[in-house]
């Protein structure tokens, strides 16, 4: 089934795309305007994911307790997840510092690897310079996070989350606008001349 077939069978697809995309853009704007709140919210979500993962690991350990060789490992893994989540919950500011450092390190390493890959593929790919540009941007951005750490930790994750939400929302809005007549009942059909 093609994309057009899906749109024809669901005439409100474009309107939903516009609505959801707009919601993401608004949430991204809120996250950018309140970066400390969105940074703490991100940290709490990660704590929740760790806690849930720990519970799942402990249930898995209990279910597979007949395999004694791996039981201790599974129990330690579950306890590690739960312990990490409790540290993030009880010490949120220290958690924000750690997460910011980890994100900055990841972006820096990602940029270095992208730049290296671009240099290696310059003989084979005509658009290799786009990958190089992306890598250089990531290196600069990662270095700026690392050089601003720990002072910028309170707002940088919130800013990144906000920018990510906005960058996810805009394409949805544009896609919805190009494929839907906002005042009609469904996707626009090309007019024959």
Per residue in 20-73, pLDDT (tens digit) is 989 999 999 999 999 889 888 888 998 999 999 999 999 998 888 887 777 888
Residue 90 lies in a domain: yes
Vertex 75: Cα angle to 70 and 81 (nearest 5): 125
**Number of structural domains the chain divides into:** 1
Residue 4 lies in a domain: no
Report which DSSP code applies to 192: P
pLDDT digits (tens, 9 = 90+) for 136-184: 888 988 898 889 888 888 888 888 888 888 888 887 888 788 765 444 4
Residue 189 lies in a domain: no
Residue 30 lies in a domain: yes
Residue 193 lies in a domain: no
What pLDDT is attached to residue 182? 45
What pLDDT is attached to residue 168? 81
- Rounded Cα distance between 92 and 60, Å, is 28
Q: Is 186 helix (H, G, I), strand (E, B) or coil?
A: coil
Report which DSSP code applies to 181: -
Whether residue 15 has pLDDT greater than 60: yes
Residue 168 lies in a domain: yes
Domain containing 135 equals 13-179
Residue 140 lies in a domain: yes
- Three state DSSP letters for the chain: CCHHHHHHHCCCHHHHHHHHHHHHHHHHHHHHHCHHHHHHHHHHHHHHHHHHHHHHHHHHHHHCCCCHHHHHHHHHHHHHHHHHHHHHHHCHHHHHHHHHHHHHHHHHHHHHHHHHHHHHCCCCCCCHHHHHHHHHHHHHHHHHHHHHCCCCHHHHHHHHHHHHHHHHHHHHHHHHHHHECCCCCCECCCCCC
Contacts of 121 (CB under 8 A, 6+ apart): 128, 131
Whether residue 185 has pLDDT greater than 80: no
Residue 83 lies in a domain: yes
Whether residue 81 has pLDDT greater than 70: yes
């Amino acid at each position: 089934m093609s994309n057009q077939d899906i749109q024809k069978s669901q005439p409100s697809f474009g309107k939903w795309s516009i609505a959801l995309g707009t919601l993401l853009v608004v949430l991204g704007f809120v996250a950018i305007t309140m970066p400390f709140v969105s940074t703490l919210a991100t940290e709490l979500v990660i704590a929740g994911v760790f806690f849930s993962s720990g519970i799942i690991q402990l249930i898995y350990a209990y279910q597979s307790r007949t395999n004694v060789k791996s039981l201790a490992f599974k129990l330690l893994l579950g306890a590690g997840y739960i312990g990490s989540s409790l540290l993030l919950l009880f010490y949120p500011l220290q958690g924000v510092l750690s997460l910011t450092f980890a994100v900055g390190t990841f972006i820096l390493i990602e940029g270095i690897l992208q730049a290296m890959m671009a240099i290696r593929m310059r003989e084979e790919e005509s658009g290799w310079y786009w990958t190089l540009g992306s890598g250089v941007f990531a290196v600069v951005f990662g270095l700026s996070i690392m050089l601003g750490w720990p002072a910028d930790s309170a707002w940088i994750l919130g800013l990144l989350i906000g920018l990510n939400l906005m960058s996810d929302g805009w394409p949805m809005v544009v896609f919805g606008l190009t494929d839907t007549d906002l005042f009609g009942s469904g996707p626009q059909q090309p007019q024959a001349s």
